[in-house]
Amino acid sequence: MKSRRLWMLAGLVAAGGAIWLLAFGGLNQNMVFFMTPSELQAGEPLPPGTSMRLGGRVKPGSVQWDAAQTRLRFVLTDEGAEISVAGSVAPPAMFREGMGVVVEGTYGPGQVFQADGIMIKHSNEYAPPGDGVDPSQTYRSLLESS
């Protein structure tokens, strides 16, 4: 009887350990920091190659897009600090100067953030085209303003 209880206890401990390992074991490897430009400049430097997300607004007049080589450069600001962003990523269709964006990548040498991806912040308000407005014309106006 004691042997059976001992085996049951050992099994429960093993199962609990396995659940804990699955839940928390790889958490540090999958964690992505989120900062603003001010927090990044004011904080302690992160280890090289640390993946993170940086959020702010695209500074007007700073966007440089080379479609032939798929190179994008711009300045991200939070009104308190500015960080240069560079990457070989195509900007999302709604990407504009002055809008809120979140870039994911690494903060590298020369105080340049190397972006691997760009997410834009936009309103969750959807308004369909008004009466008598051709939806294709609305789409064309979005393309022409980019």
- If asked whether residues 21 and 43 sit together in one domain, one would say no
Domain assignment present for 100: yes
Three-point CA angle 59, 62, 67, nearest 5°: 125
Query: What pLDDT does 13 receive?
Result: 87
Token digits for 18? 């396995």
> Domain residues for 7?
1-28
Query: What pLDDT does 1 receive?
Result: 72
Query: What pLDDT does 83 receive?
Result: 92
- If asked whether residues 75 and 97 sit together in one domain, one would say yes
Domain assignment present for 7: yes
Query: What pLDDT does 77 receive?
Result: 93
Residues of the chain falling short of pLDDT 50? 145-146
Reported as a single tens digit per residue, the pLDDT across 68-81 is 888 999 999 998 89
Query: What pLDDT does 103 receive?
Result: 93
- If asked whether residues 57 and 90 sit together in one domain, one would say yes
Query: What pLDDT does 74 receive?
Result: 95
Query: What pLDDT does 84 receive?
Result: 93
- If asked whether residues 36 and 22 sit together in one domain, one would say no
Domain assignment present for 130: no
Q: What are phi and psi for residue 14, nearest 5 degrees?
A: -65, -45
Domain assignment present for 103: yes
- If asked whether residues 111 and 51 sit together in one domain, one would say yes
Three-point CA angle 88, 91, 94, nearest 5°: 175
- If asked whether residues 85 and 13 sit together in one domain, one would say no
Bridge partners for 76 per DSSP: 58, 83
Query: What pLDDT does 146 receive?
Result: 47
For CA atoms 126, 127, 128, 129, the dihedral sign is negative
Token digits for 67? 């479609």
Residue 31, phi-psi category: left (phi > 0), alpha (psi -120 to 50), beta (remainder): beta
- If asked whether residues 63 and 107 sit together in one domain, one would say yes
- If asked whether residues 37 and 107 sit together in one domain, one would say yes
